[in-house]
């Protein structure tokens, strides 16, 4: 199936359930959503009829999780949000997961190293070949005259064993943990959108989530949205959106997996999202309810069951309940 066909089907899938319901756009103006697509990240509205064949220029397939971490296209976002999030947060998530769970040899690639044999030294660069063998490339430009010959002559061998001391100088890689955590939040938020639709994500309580995703340099949610990791993940639960409770406060929790490219290791996260309510309730979820003081407190949340949306067509009321 072409990307054009995938995009069309996903737009239809995400929009059809609420095609007749009025919503407010990012400027607070009400409009009938039929014939429009609303970007789940910025809430900008797009008139599909006016876009016509140019829809692909402004609406793009969104991989959840990011494609580099094992995701696949399950929805559509606007091109601006897709590009911004990919550059500002998704790249950092890939970087952080590779640092923590990836192939450690990749950190040695192109590192500086000094080989020492009986007082004779040469400066080298580390290289990992196709068979994952660590190699040391000696470069004459980085060594004094005759240094390489002196080093080679100084190496004493006993059969196949060589007495060489290696001093590595691995550069510390840049890190942005906050951006990586917000990328996890973004994947969880979009995963919930794919499962529950506009009925959920256009709720006022989700506004601080969108604000945090689109403004990763700001500390809006104080990083409390990730409430579990490899050590606290409910192992018997599949990836999905669930109703959970902590201290008698109800919220939604998303279980989501990421695959580290270099090792194939699958790491999972637990992300808290507000139960439908006011924007103030969404903020309170993160600033009060989920401000745990210890890992033990984080373990106390209980998952009640999968969340699903039931819509009463008569009065357009919405019920979130265990599926």
Report whether 290 contacts 246 (CB < 8 A).
Answer: yes
41 backbone dihedrals φ, ψ, rounded to 5°: -95, -50
What 3-state class would DSSP assign to 198?
Answer: helix
pLDDT digits (tens, 9 = 90+) for 282-297: 888 888 888 766 555 5
Q: Please check the confidence at residue 278 and state whether its pLDDT lies above 50.
A: yes
First-to-last C-alpha distance (Å) of the chain: 31
Question: In which band, very low, low, confident or very high, does the pLDDT at 107 lie, cut at 50, 70 and 90?
Answer: low
Question: How would you classify the pairing of strands 266-273 and 249-259?
Answer: antiparallel
3-state secondary structure of 282: helix
CA atoms of 226 and 256, how far apart (whole Å): 11
Integer Cα distance of 228 and 83 in angstroms: 28
DSSP state of 140: G
90, pLDDT greater than 90: yes
Higher pLDDT, residue 308 or 271:
271
Determine if the peptide bond prior to 65 is cis (ω within 30°).
yes
Radius of gyration of the chain (CA): 26
Residue 199, pLDDT > 90, answer: no
pLDDT at position 316 over 60:
no
Beta bridge partners of 61: 76
At 116, which helix (H) or strand (E)?
Answer: strand 112-117
d(CA 66, CA 155): 49
Query: Whole-angstrom Cα distance, residue 270 to residue 268?
Result: 7
Handedness of CA 177, 175, 82, 217 (dihedral sign): positive
Mean predicted confidence (pLDDT) in 301-305: 82
SS3 of residue 23 by DSSP: strand
pLDDT tens for 128-184 read 887 778 888 887 778 888 888 888 888 765 555 667 888 877 666 688 999 999 999
What φ, ψ does residue 187 adopt, rounded to 5°?
Answer: -60, -40
Q: What is the pLDDT of residues 213-245, one digit of tens each?
A: 999 999 999 888 988 765 555 567 889 999 988
Q: What is the pLDDT of residue 272?
A: 92
The string of pLDDT tens digits covering residues 206-221 is: 999 999 999 999 999 9
């Amino acid at each position: 199936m072409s990307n054009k066909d995938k995009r069309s089907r996903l737009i239809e899938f995400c929009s059809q359930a609420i095609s007749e319901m009025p919503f407010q756009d990012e400027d607070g103006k009400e409009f009938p959503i039929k014939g429009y697509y609303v970007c789940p990240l910025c809430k900008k509205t797009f008139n599909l009829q006016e876009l016509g064949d140019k829809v692909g220029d402004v609406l793009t397939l969104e991989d959840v999780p990011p494609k580099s971490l094992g995701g696949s296209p399950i929805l559509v976002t606007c091109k601006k949000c897709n590009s911004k999030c990919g550059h500002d947060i998704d790249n950092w998530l890939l970087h952080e997961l590779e640092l923590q769970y990836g192939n450690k040899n990749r950190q040695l690639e192109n590192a500086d190293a000094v080989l020492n044999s009986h007082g004779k030294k040469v400066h080298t660069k580390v290289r990992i070949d196709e068979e994952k063998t660590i190699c040391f490339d000696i470069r004459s430009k980085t060594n004094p005259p005759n240094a390489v010959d002196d080093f080679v002559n100084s190496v004493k061998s006993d059969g196949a064993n060589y007495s060489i001391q290696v001093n590595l100088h691995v550069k510390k890689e840049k890190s942005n943990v906050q951006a990586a955590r917000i990328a996890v939040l973004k994947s969880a938020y979009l995963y919930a959108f794919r499962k529950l639709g506009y009925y959920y994500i256009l709720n006022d309580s989700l506004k601080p989530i969108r604000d945090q995703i689109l403004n990763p340099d700001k500390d809006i949610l104080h990083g409390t949205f990730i409430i579990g990791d490899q050590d606290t993940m409910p192992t018997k639960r599949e990836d999905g959106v669930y109703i959970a409770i902590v201290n008698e406060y109800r919220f939604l929790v998303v279980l989501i997996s990421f695959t580290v490219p270099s090792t194939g290791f699958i790491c999972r996260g637990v992300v808290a999202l507000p139960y439908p309510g006011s924007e103030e309730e969404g903020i309170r979820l993160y600033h009060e309810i989920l401000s745990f003081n210890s890992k033990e407190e984080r373990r106390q949340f209980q998952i009640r069951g999968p969340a699903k949306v039931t819509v009463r067509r008569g009065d357009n009321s919405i019920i979130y309940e265990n599926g």
